[in-house]
Amino acid sequence: MREVAVVGVGHTRFGKWERRTAVELFSEAAQQAMEGAGVEGREVEALFVGSALGDFGEGQAMIQAQCRAELGLGLIPCTRFEGACASSTVAVRDAWMWVASGAYDLVLVGGTERVLPMGTPLATRTFAMAMHSTYEVPAGLTFPGVFALVARLYSRIYGLPLERLREQMAQVSIQNHRHGARNPLAQFYGKYENLKVEEVLSSRMVCDPLTLLDCCPFTDGAAALLLCAGEKARKYTDTPVYILGTGQGAGGPMALFEEELVKPPSRVSSARMAFRQARLEPKDIQVLELHDCFTIAEIVALEAMGFFPEGKAGEAVEEGQTEIGGRIPTNMSGGLIGKGHPIGATGASQVCMIVQQLRGEAPRGNQVDPVPEVGMVDTMGGAYGTLCHLILGRRG
């Protein structure tokens, strides 16, 4: 397999887009990526698009074909991936393979989603379809419900009083909202820069113990990347970022996890696959974007990936270990909580944010200093149904 580099990134503002379709949002992100790399549409050899709810949200299935036409690309292979929230991370991993194998030299990959027009009740219900339709959905389980269960189980297993855990979770919310407030691309840009623990704890209860500020929002947006064969990367950019490792795993339904719901084996195995391929360990990662759909999700992700011991990640967050200068600066973009969560676009957005960090182009206050050499992306779809990891570095 040969080296693969990210040579262009594009990212719409995340938030509410009332007058533009998911196809149009994708085009904005893709054109940014192409213009940045000086690439013409006819040069792109294949398109990979992550999209989760487009059929429901806008009545648009097979969105990849429409994105191709909107961008004026050739009659190239266009593939859509659906892995719930991890849809576009899986798309990036697949695009990586097609370039790494030598089949293509230059491909476009990304994700797009418009969720807000659906409204929260319908979006929550539709979204829950990523769980098992026979065993889980009829039980009334939604994703806030899943992670409320995870929080309670975590508290019990690690003997951490729920009130203490809630304070640690609040700290995740405070940090990610602060990062998001500084990120012009984030849904909550300019908001929630200085949340207090008490504000998080006392915000509206969504699913006990998760309050509104423990939850990521629904979001509209798109993100796109150009991948190219490593040896040709300098043709397009002075700051290529290489894909060093990829991993993917699957798990569920939830009943099969039992107590492992706080350290899901599907995430452990996916992260290990990426570390093994990159020949790196958690200690080598200098900046991390992970799947904080809820505050507790960040805590369990940090532990499953091996950054902190079991039951200890919340404490580490409180100590500033996930901030600049700490052990592993995490979700410096704001993450899902502060930047927003346009489901099928989230993974591609995470990759864009890591590329930004590795290029030293992150917003003031969010840029890790010195500019990191190696970053990592963690995305989860469903209730640990799909996990996908990518490790990126400034050197191939």
End-to-end CA, the chain: 12
Asked if 342 touches a second copy (CB under 8 A), the answer is no
Asked if 33 touches a second copy (CB under 8 A), the answer is no
Taking a C-beta distance cutoff of 8 angstroms, is the pair 112, 25 a contact?
Answer: yes
The residue among 51, 129, 92 whose CA lies nearest residue 354 is 92
Asked if 52 touches a second copy (CB under 8 A), the answer is yes
Which residue lies nearer to a second copy by CB, 2 or 283?
A: 2
Nearest distance from C-beta of residue 396 to a second copy, angstroms: 18
Exactly one of 65, 122, 160, 324 binds a second copy (CB under 8 A); that residue is: 65
Return d(Cα 192, Cα 196) in angstroms, integer.
9
Q: Which stretch binds a second copy (CB under 8 A): 29-37, 59-67, 201-209, 231-239?
A: 59-67
**Residue 80: strand pairing partners:** 49
Taking a C-beta distance cutoff of 8 angstroms, is the pair 115, 123 a contact?
Answer: yes
Task: Quote the crossing angle between the two packed helices 143-157 and 162-181, to the nearest 10°.
Answer: 130
Exactly one of 34, 78, 206, 380 binds a second copy (CB under 8 A); that residue is: 78
Asked if 367 touches a second copy (CB under 8 A), the answer is no
Nearest distance from C-beta of residue 137 to a second copy, angstroms: 6
Q: 235: burial class by Cβ within 10 Å (0-12, 13-18, 19+)?
A: middle
Return d(Cα 373, Cα 126) in angstroms, integer.
39
Exactly one of 31, 36, 41, 77 binds a second copy (CB under 8 A); that residue is: 77
Which residue lies nearer to a second copy by CB, 111 or 363?
A: 111
Exactly one of 16, 36, 97, 124 binds a second copy (CB under 8 A); that residue is: 97
Asked if 122 touches a second copy (CB under 8 A), the answer is no
Nearest distance from C-beta of residue 102 to a second copy, angstroms: 7
Asked if 98 touches a second copy (CB under 8 A), the answer is yes
Question: Which residues are known to be catalytic?
Answer: 85, 341
Contact residues for a second copy, defined by CB under 8 A:
1, 21, 23, 47, 52-53, 55-56, 58-62, 64-66, 68-69, 75-84, 90, 94, 97-98, 100-103, 126, 129-130, 132-134, 137, 248-253, 256, 265-266, 269-270, 381-382, 385-386
